[in-house]
A and B are shown apart, each in its own frame.
Chain A
């Protein structure tokens, strides 16, 4: 049975989430269109990672709806989930397996046909060729993060969810990340990436969404808002009791 081609779109409507008495997200809504790279930013504890996990169906929201390629989460079918790539706060790598073994495992889970070639290709893309047979536990934090990014990109997803992808990356890794992200965007992939600051991501993002005090306080195209205004909104503090 041929599955319908997925639309590269993410729709988030009125998502709320609390942990115990603490409100993390309060009726957060936004839409991502085909081929957009959106930066979701805000101070620490504003709910960026939680929102990403809710979109990835790892956490159930208290209220609201999420649609991924038109399918309502969390009941999205497997062929739709196969189009989503995730990089979360943890690298999600098996420390006692090699880079190659980790990537081959993920490739197998995503049903990739020619696993050996695909793994070699992604290793080349992210310049991991020399260290493919090294176990994750012997890599530096930055190298491990690069492997985790490669893992998220390996199946050429149509929707990428990247949680602080730039943390711990050196200049070369950053450049590789931006290159590959731009390349996927040109094929229609939508990217939602989080960061707690607005700095190096400004040269690839189209839009910025700012979360502060559980709500979205800004959702604008990058050319409609200045960097100083973005930073001011990120740093805006809650002085309530």
Chain B
């Protein structure tokens, strides 16, 4: 019970900070929208062939934008020493990780939800379905898990702006694939069983890496 309270306290603190700074969500939204807009120039969006690429564009843009947002978020924590402050508190490292993950997940999930109507408008492709919510939820969990872990690991590295994407993007490639394929089945394909297969794969991926990340996190924070 105490652990849940502490997790919520850490996540709530991060969300309060984000409401003041509006850094992470705006970075994710801004960058991903820019990418969508650029692709509307470079692709002939009227054709069916081009519309096939929209789920790929959506998740690629979100992944890159998220890496940018995470970098900003944790860089300021290290700069102010507030992350060290968390480590000094009488709470286990797992709780810190889960609290940070929860905050990051909320930022990402909100950003993907806002990006859905933007993509619908720009690419004339209907993403307003309940299954889209499920895809965004499941993929956001996985991206936030490994994103939080890798961001904390790389924040003290020189050239962290390239280090985080270099680690993060290859590692989450199966999840991106799952997001793209499940969204494609939803919007362009008609194979509901394929959609279920990809969502199940994404859920399994999320569970596997969440457990591993919680277990490995405390090795990454003590010098």
Residue interface mask A83-100, B partner, CB < 8 A = 1:
010101111111111000
A95-116, CB < 8 A from B? 95-97, 101, 105-106, 108-111
25 A-B Cβ contacts within 8 A? Answer: A56-B88, A57-B87, A58-B84, A58-B87, A58-B88, A58-B222, A59-B222, A74-B222, A78-B90, A81-B88, A81-B90, A82-B90, A89-B81, A90-B80, A90-B81, A92-B80, A93-B80, A93-B82, A95-B80, A96-B20, A97-B17, A97-B20, A106-B89, A109-B9, A109-B91
Measured CB to CB, the closest approach of chain B to A44, in angstroms, equals 19
CA distance A111 to B9 in the complex (A): 11
B13-55, CB < 8 A from A? 13, 16-17, 20-21
A90 close to B84 (CB less than 8 A): yes
Task: Indicate if A60 sits at the interface (CB-CB under 8 A).
Answer: yes
A42-96, CB < 8 A from B? 53, 56-60, 74, 78-82, 84, 86, 88-96
B89 close to A57 (CB less than 8 A): no
How many residues of A sit at the interface, in one of the four size bands? 20 to 34
A57 close to B222 (CB less than 8 A): yes
B80 close to A91 (CB less than 8 A): yes
A79 close to B223 (CB less than 8 A): no
Measured CB to CB, the closest approach of chain B to A86, in angstroms, equals 5
Picked from B13, B80, B85, B90, the residue with its CB within 8 Å of the CB of A79 is: B90
A109 close to B81 (CB less than 8 A): no
Nearest CB to that of B13 among chain A residues?
A105
Interface pairs A-B: 4 shortest CB-CB: A90-B81, A92-B85, A81-B90, A82-B90
B85 close to A106 (CB less than 8 A): yes
Picked from A53, A90, A109, the residue with its CB within 8 Å of the CB of B86 is: A109
Measured CB to CB, the closest approach of chain A to B3, in angstroms, equals 10
With contact pairs A60-B223, A94-B80 given, residues A78 and B16 touching in the complex (Cβ less than 8 Å): no
CB-defined contacts of B129 to chain A, threshold 8 Å? none
Task: Indicate if B200 sits at the interface (CB-CB under 8 A).
Answer: no
Task: Indicate if B6 sits at the interface (CB-CB under 8 A).
Answer: yes
B90 close to A110 (CB less than 8 A): yes
CB-defined contacts of A135 to chain B, threshold 8 Å? 20
CB-defined contacts of A58 to chain B, threshold 8 Å? 84, 87-88, 222-223
Interface residues of A (CB under 8 A from B): 53, 56-60, 74, 78-82, 84, 86, 88-97, 101, 105-106, 108-111, 135
Task: Indicate if B92 sits at the interface (CB-CB under 8 A).
Answer: yes
- Tally of contacts, chain A with chain B, CB under 8 A: 73
Nearest CB to that of A91 among chain B residues?
B81
CA distance A59 to B88 in the complex (A): 11
Measured CB to CB, the closest approach of chain A to B67, in angstroms, equals 22
- Additional A-B contact list (11), CB under 8 Å, known A57-B222, A105-B13, A109-B91: A59-B222, A60-B222, A81-B88, A82-B90, A92-B81, A92-B82, A96-B20, A97-B20, A106-B89, A109-B86, A109-B90
- Most interface-central of A56, A82, A92 (chain B CB within 10 A): A92
A109 close to B80 (CB less than 8 A): no
Nearest CB to that of A54 among chain B residues?
B223
Measured CB to CB, the closest approach of chain B to A183, in angstroms, equals 22
B82 close to A94 (CB less than 8 A): yes
CB-defined contacts of A81 to chain B, threshold 8 Å? 88-90
A94 close to B91 (CB less than 8 A): no
Measured CB to CB, the closest approach of chain B to A139, in angstroms, equals 13
Measured CB to CB, the closest approach of chain A to B206, in angstroms, equals 27
B16 close to A86 (CB less than 8 A): no
CB-defined contacts of A96 to chain B, threshold 8 Å? 17, 20-21
CA distance A86 to B80 in the complex (A): 15
CB-defined contacts of B91 to chain A, threshold 8 Å? 78, 109
